[in-house]
Amino acid sequence: MLQKEIQEFLSYLESVKQYSKHTISGYKRDLTKLSGYLLNIDIEDWQSVNEHELRTFVNSERRRGLSPRSIQRVLSTSRSFFEYLLVEGIIKLSPAQNINSPKSAQLLPKAMDADLVQRLLDFKPNGLIEVRDKAIAELLYSSGLRLSEVCTLDVQDLELKERVCRVTGKGNKMRVVPVGKKAIQAIRDWLIHRKELKHSKSSSSEAMFLNNKGKRISARSIQLRLEKLCAQRGLPGINPHMLRHSFASHVLESSGDLRAVQEMLGHADIATTQIYTKLDFQHLSKVYDSAHPRARKGTKNDN
């Protein structure tokens, strides 16, 4: 009985909310844990779940070693699911509405300094695969794309003359981002070599980045290839998310334009961008000293 509503909810997320497979998989994992716990305490329908049982489930996950961030995700999943059941008339009251998520420290991904990025990207590729790897790395840093967005990119999504890229991000939202000169050149080089790969019948021939079998490249492949590029250059482990964060940090430090960075990253809420793209204190102090009337020095009133 419990699984029936879970499956209907997941179908709703896919067909109506148009969530990605990765996001739906996370919802399914959390709800499977919850339903398993409820069955162990002999609860077989969602109408019988109350706040006490949900709190007990969350506490059991905490004792099992789940981090505050993971607990937050489980509660967020539960709220969404019970809200769905409420709207569908399956339950009369959500047991999750009064349960607060635990606070967790906001850990920012590390940003690489510009010299480190240059050491990673300034190399002459040797062979088709390295040409592709360089194009991917350049694009990640040039435009701040998510790893999943690079994987789903098609050839027609890039306008090389206009130096822009159309990206389908979270929630199936489309945005257009600029692409730098070095990334454009690396992509041009890759498109020449890309023709050498035979397209798999099981994959779209429009995919921008292909693996050595001619199929659309996977996220794991990009992660492994980036690790190899770092090892070859004697660099510490760098992942795709670090390149995205470095892009955001470097653009924000240079321009101070938080809204523009928000647009390029594809964040729905500017609060996410504020957490994600931390300005160093020196920069903030400089802006404050030059802008705030009570911070300026040398005014007539000072005398």
Catalytic site residue from 132, 244, 245, 250: 244
Q: Is residue 276 annotated as part of the catalytic site, yes or no?
A: yes
Contact 206, 155 (CB under 8 A): yes
Helices 240-255 and 219-232: angle between axes, nearest 10 degrees: 80
Burial class (CB within 10 angstroms; exposed 0-12, middle 13-18, buried 19+) of 266: buried
Q: 164-168 and 174-178 as β-strands: parallel, antiparallel, unpaired? A: antiparallel
Report residue 97 as tokens: 């509405």
Given 216, 225, 250, 267, the catalytic residue? 267
Asked if 62 is an active-site residue, the reply is no
Which structure tokens are listed for 202?
């099981």
CB atoms within 10 A of CB 288: 11
- Lookup: tokens for 16: 């109506």
Q: CB of 195 within 8 A of CB of 205? A: no
CB 102 within 8 A of CB 72: yes
Residue 267 among the catalytic residues: yes
Of these residues, 146, 216, 225, 245, which one is catalytic?
A: 146
Question: CA–CA separation, 178 vs 252, rounded Å?
Answer: 15
Residue with tokens 């906001």: 106
Active-site residue, 64 included: no
Separation between Cα atoms, residue 242 and residue 229, nearest integer Å? 14
Distance CA 179, CA 168 (A): 15
Catalytic, out of 170, 175, 199, 278: 170
- The edge-to-edge listing of strands for the beta sheet with 174-178 is 158-159, 164-168, 174-178
Q: Which stretch of DSSP H or E encloses residue 231?
A: helix 219-232
From 33, 62, 182, 241, the catalytic residue: 241
**CA-to-CA distance for 229 and 121, rounded, in angstroms?**
9
Helix (H, G, I), strand (E, B) or coil at 93: coil
Catalytic residues: 146, 170, 241, 244, 267, 276
